[in-house]
Each structure stands twice: as C-alpha cells, then as structure tokens.
Amino acid sequence: MEPSGNSTSNHTSNSTGAEGSWEISDKTKLCRFLCYGSEGDIYTAREQGRVSMDNAGALLTLLQDGRGAEVVEEIKHFALEGRAVRPGPALFALALCSQHSELKTRQAAFKALKEICRDPANLFSFVQYKKELKEGMKCGIWGRALRKAVSDWYNEQDPLRLAAAVTRCKQREGWSHQDLLRLSHTKPATDAVALISKYVTKGWKEVQEAYADKENSEEVVQVLSYLEVVEKAKHSCDELEVSGLIEEHKLEREQLLTDHLRSKQVWGALLKEIPLHSILKILGKMTSNKLLEPRSSEVQTICDRLQNEASLKKAKIHPFSILLASENYKRGQGYQGKTKWEADVSILKAMDCAFYKSFMNVEPVGKHFVVAVDVSTSLTSIVPGTAISTAVAAAAVTMIFSQTEENTDVLAFSEGAVVPCSLSADMTLADVTAELVKFPSGSTDCTLPITWATENGKSIDMFIILTNNPLWTFAASPVDSLKKYRLASGTASRLVMCGLTSIGHAIADTEDSGLISICGFDSGAFDVIRNLALGLI
C-alpha cells in the first residue's frame, strides 16, 4: 500500500531506485521527531521522556528557513493519520510553531489546533508546552491568538461531546478547564456552551439555580440532563443506581468516584463499554482487587469482548499490544509496587484468541520484506520493560509480517548460515517460536540476510533484522552491505536493526536515511517500521 495522496516520500532516488541521495535531510529529521520524539536514527521502545528543544534542531531550522506552513502540514499528517508513536512530539512542535515570529506560521498552527487537539488532554499538553517554551521570557503565553484558539476549541465542539469531555478529563499537566476558560476570556457562542462554562467555573449548584426557572432550548435541556446524570452518579452511594446510570448514559470510569470503582456491580456495567486498551492495562489490578473472580459475569464480559471481532476492529488494537498485555498478566505481578494476582485461565485463553484475530487490524504496507532472526545467541532473554522473551517477541514479529504482507521472507541466521523458514497461516505463536529456536547457534553476522538476498536475486524493499545481541563482530558492516545491495539490485532498500535487549544505544552508526535502529520492542516499533518502509521518516 502506497502513501496517501497528500503524503510524499522524504527520500530521493534515481531511475534505478538505488543510487539516489540517502542523506538525512532536515525534513526527514522533523518527521522522525514527530514520529517518536527524536531526530536521530534510534527508536527506543517504551521510552516516555518529556519532549524538549534538545531534539528539535531540524524543526527550528525549517522554521527559520520560512517553511513553517510546511511544518504544520507534516504535524497534521503525523497526528491525524496514525503515523506517530505518541502525541507529545506533534503537540510540542505545534506549540513551537504557534509562537514563531512569522505570522503565517502562527496562523497555520492555531488554525490546526482543534484538529490536532481532539480531546482535553491534548489541549492541556499543548498549553503546557507553550508555557515551558516561554520560560525565561518576559512575555506570557496568553496573547490574543491563543485566547481565540482556545475559545474556538470550546465554542466549536458539539455541546454533548463537550459536556462529556469536561466531566471525563477535568485536568492534566497542571491545567484545568476552569483555568483555560478564565485565561482565554472565552465568550460562549451558544447557550449550551454557556451552560457548560458555568458548570465548569461555578459548579452544579449555581447551574441549577440559574436554569431552574428558565425556558431552555432543546440543546440546553439535553446538556442539563447529561450533567444531572453525572452529578447523580458522583453523589450516589447506591451501587445499583450507579450501575444503571453507567449503562443507560455510557458513563466512563473517569466520571465516577474512587469508592464506586471498588464495586463489582459498577465494574460489571463499566466493562461493557470501557475501551479494550484500558481493559488490558488494568486486568492485573482488577484481578488483584478481587473484582474479577473465576467464572464470574465480569470475567465472561471481558472474554466475550476480547474474542469479538467487531470489538477488536473498533478498538484498532495491534496484536503485539495484546501479546505484551497477555504476557504481563500471565506474569502475575506488576513492575512497580507490590501488586500481585493469579491470572484467570479464561482471560488468558481469550487474550490468546484476541492476538490472532487482531491481525486484521494491521494495515498492509505492500512492500517486499525480509524478517531475519538472529539465532546465534540464546533467545531466552527478556525484552526490557516487558514480560516477553526475545524468542517469543521475534516469533510474533515474523508472524505479523508474514500473515499481513503478501511478500515476506522469514529467515533464521547464524554462523555463516541462513535458513529460510516456511510459516503457514495455521501455525500458533508457540509453533513459530519452536521453529526459530531449533536452529544451532553460533557467532553473529547481521550482513547475512542481505547477502542471502543478493545471492538469490531477491528485490527487497525492507530488511528487518531481529537480534538478541546489540553488539557483535562481523566481517563487514550491514550498512555497507546494504549500499552494495542497492547498487546490485537496483532497489531502494531500507534496513531496520532491532536490538531486542538493547536499552537505548545505537546498533549501527550511520548517516544513511534508509536505516533506523530499534532498541527493545513494542507496538510503536511497528509504526516506525511502517513509516520507514513508506519513506515517511
């Protein structure tokens, strides 16, 4: 599958597709920053560090060159088209553009604000980034442009959706809706927004007094009714009543009190609608707190949703995310604190089923891949920050590519030998893992998959090399081998080096824009691979 019509490759090549410039341009660095928060060629899995100016050199250069409008367009592509691993870098870049000296850049950034900040959490992050970028400067952040943009964010929302948003996400990053409405001097554009603004700034009691004897529009009545439900749930001690309100009005756990979340009955109602991503994150805690008992209706609800194709498709959940959650749940212990639990067998079976069914959520790239697994060292190590072994991680990656991409060659390599692996669609994860680890181990040489492609006349768009050992001794550099392969095959090939046990250092040092190193592995790594395969980073 090629990039969409408004997307263009950030790399150039000649008619052969191989000898073009592979230098890393400022545009490419910007796109890498927007994808995973760094301009460099290293993606570190599960890294959640705060985005800062230290990693935004190319972004500043492009702004200084008068390319601000182009930068804002790229921010929109990464934020709205699912290209980014996390939202922080795009929000940081948008904040930087919004206070650039060039008027057109500022205007483009503020115009894109509502589109990119689709929920309050993103809006709060954007405002906080603006505050951090202004630190040390005499001027504040609340100029006319920001006040208008924030006011428009509230005024242009659907009133019922806005009422749900302000009661679900009340504050983040040290900011609240009350802060933003006050500092932006928001003048409500409609009676419904005026009602929500009063609720946020003055509270429910004043809203009741102000609207009790009014002749209200249908829209205002709907918002009043919704807020009344939220307040009723907030002040109710009756589990049955709260459960009924959740089911009837689709209330979410963020709108409830902590005491409500200790009730099995309340969770029974919540589990019918709560996003699957959220369920996967809290399975261990819920089991530890005895909210999930064996053969209970709550367990059955979770199992039904995990095995329902429509639910999985709606959640757009990636199979690798399910695998990580499953292995963590199976582990029976959190990474922080003392929380422990005994994993429910039914839930584990449902998660296993969900792993295979969720392959339908992986959108094919339409390129020719080689996924090569280094079996030279023991694959029994654990991928950092997870409960998954490197052998299982490698098997999962090979399965996902071989079953979602029509042209995928899977290789096992070590000690001068490369063995093609035939994986059938009916093989389980355990079968694939056993297939990979059965080969004898030896020394590591990560040039072997590229040599194999050359010797077999293969035209490969992307090499994905999975190794347990981030450091190795080899006769030639994989980067040099890749360059020679490009010339010999006439293919604009790219390479991803995955050090499954690496915790943040480069696998290869290169200025070649067709190569990225991945340290560790998570579902975000698939976004990085996809973007590189399509020439977007």
pLDDT of residue 13: 45
Q: What is the DSSP letter of 450?
A: H
Q: What is the pTM of this model?
A: 0.90
Q: How many CB atoms lie within 10 A of CB 165?
A: 20
Contact criterion met (CB below 8 Å) for 447 and 508? no
Sorted by where each begins, the domain ranges of the chain are 23-141, 275-360, 363-534
Domain 363-534 is found in CATH 3.90.700.10: no
Instruction: Report which secondary-structure segment, H or E, holds 466.
Output: strand 462-467
216 vs 211: CA distance, rounded Å: 8
The DSSP string of 408-427 is EEEEEEETTEEEEE---TT-
449 vs 478: CA distance, rounded Å: 9
Contact criterion met (CB below 8 Å) for 123 and 150? yes
The DSSP string of 189-250 is SSHHHHHHHHHHHH-HHHHHHHHTTS---HHHHHHHHHHHHHHHHHH---HHHHHHHHHHHT
| Percent of the chain as helix, strand, coil, to the nearest 5 | 55, 10, 40
Q: What is the DSSP letter of 371?
A: E
pLDDT of residue 215: 86
Burial of 291: CB neighbours in 10 Å, binned 0-12, 13-18, 19+: buried
Which residues on adjacent β-strands are paired with residue 340?
Answer: 333
Instruction: Retrieve residue 132's tokens.
Output: 């951090």
pLDDT of residue 506: 62
pLDDT < 70 stretches in the chain: 1-20, 136-138, 378, 440-442, 469-476, 504-509
